[in-house]
Amino acid sequence: MKVCTPLVLLRPLVFTVLAVAAHFTKAADELLVYAFTNGDPAVGAEVFIGESSVGFTGADGSLLADLTGAGARTVTVEAVSGSVSARFSAGAGQLVDAIVQIDQGTFYVDVYSQTESVAEQKAAPEGALTVAVTRGGEPVGNESVFLAGAGSSVTTDAEGLATLSLPRGRYRAQVAEQVAYLRVVGGLTRQVVVSITEEGEAMQVAAPDLEEVFVVASFDPSGLEVSERDASNIVDTIGVELLTRFSDSDVAASVVRVPGISVQDDKYVFIRGLGGRYISSTLNGATMPSTNPSKRTVPLDLFPSNFVS
Do the domain assignments include residue 216? no
- For residues 264-291, average pLDDT: 79
The pLDDT value given to residue 212 = 56
Q: Check whether residue 197 and residue 275 sit in a common domain.
A: no
Do the domain assignments include residue 106? yes
Q: Check whether residue 102 and residue 250 sit in a common domain.
A: no
Do the domain assignments include residue 231? no
The pLDDT value given to residue 292 = 80
Do the domain assignments include residue 229? no
The pLDDT value given to residue 260 = 79
Q: Check whether residue 37 and residue 130 sit in a common domain.
A: yes
Q: Is pLDDT above 90 for 78? A: yes
- For residues 213-238, average pLDDT: 64
Q: Check whether residue 150 and residue 265 sit in a common domain.
A: no
Q: Is pLDDT above 90 for 2? A: no
Q: Residue 54: which pLDDT band, with cuts at 50, 70 and 90?
A: very high
Q: Is pLDDT above 60 for 21? A: no
Q: Is pLDDT above 60 for 208? A: no
Q: Check whether residue 245 and residue 189 sit in a common domain.
A: no
pLDDT higher for 99 or 248?
99
- For residues 90-119, average pLDDT: 85
Do the domain assignments include residue 214? no
- Which domain, by its residues, includes 286? 238-307
Q: Is pLDDT above 50 for 52? A: yes
- Which residues, other chains included, contact 166 with Cβ-Cβ below 8 Å and sequence gap of 6+? 126, 127, 129, 147, 150, 184
- For residues 220-243, average pLDDT: 66
For the chain, how many residues are written? 309
Of 204, 222, 256, the residue at which a domain comes to its end is: 204
Q: Check whether residue 47 and residue 175 sit in a common domain.
A: yes
The radius of gyration of the chain from alpha carbons, rounded to an integer in Å, stands at: 24
The pLDDT value given to residue 102 = 92
Do the domain assignments include residue 179? yes
pLDDT digits (tens, 9 = 90+) for 22-50: 334 455 688 999 999 988 899 999 999 99
Contact 98, 30 (CB under 8 A): no
Contact 85, 74 (CB under 8 A): yes
Identify the H or E element spanning 282.
Answer: strand 282-283
Give me the long-range contacts of 156-160 (CB less than 8 A, separation at least 24).
156/131, 156/132, 160/132, 160/133, 160/134
Q: Check whether residue 54 and residue 193 sit in a common domain.
A: yes
CATH number of the domain residue 64 falls in? 2.60.40.10
Lowest mean pLDDT among 10-24, 95-109, 139-153, 273-287: 10-24
The pLDDT value given to residue 202 = 34
Contact 111, 89 (CB under 8 A): yes
Of 150, 180, 204, the residue at which a domain comes to its end is: 204
**Which amino acid, residue 304?**
P
Q: Check whether residue 195 and residue 281 sit in a common domain.
A: no
The pLDDT value given to residue 226 = 62
Q: Residue 57: which pLDDT band, with cuts at 50, 70 and 90?
A: very high
* pTM of the predicted structure, to 2 decimals: 0.54
Contact 133, 140 (CB under 8 A): yes
Among residues 298, 192, 286, 204, the alpha carbon closest in space to that of 255 is found at 298
The pLDDT value given to residue 85 = 92
The pLDDT value given to residue 27 = 55
Q: Check whether residue 299 and residue 156 sit in a common domain.
A: no
CA distances, 50 to each of 111, 152, 252 (Å): 17, 39, 50
Do the domain assignments include residue 224? no
Q: Check whether residue 41 and residue 138 sit in a common domain.
A: yes
For residue 83, the tally of other CB atoms under 10 A from its CB is: 14
Rounded Cα distance, 50 and 76, in Å: 8
Contact 140, 131 (CB under 8 A): no
Rounded Cα distance, 145 and 131, in Å: 8
Q: Check whether residue 200 and residue 257 sit in a common domain.
A: no
Of 204, 225, 259, the residue at which a domain comes to its end is: 204
Among residues 264, 267, 272, the alpha carbon closest in space to that of 236 is found at 272
For the chain, how many structural domains are there in total?
2
- For residues 273-285, average pLDDT: 77
Do the domain assignments include residue 147? yes
pLDDT digits (tens, 9 = 90+) for 255-277: 777 777 888 888 888 887 777 77
Reduced to 3 states (helix: H, G, I; strand: E, B; else coil), residue 25 is coil
Among 18-32, 87-101, 118-132, the range of highest mean pLDDT: 87-101
For residue 192, the tally of other CB atoms under 10 A from its CB is: 20
Q: Check whether residue 76 and residue 148 sit in a common domain.
A: yes
The pLDDT value given to residue 166 = 87
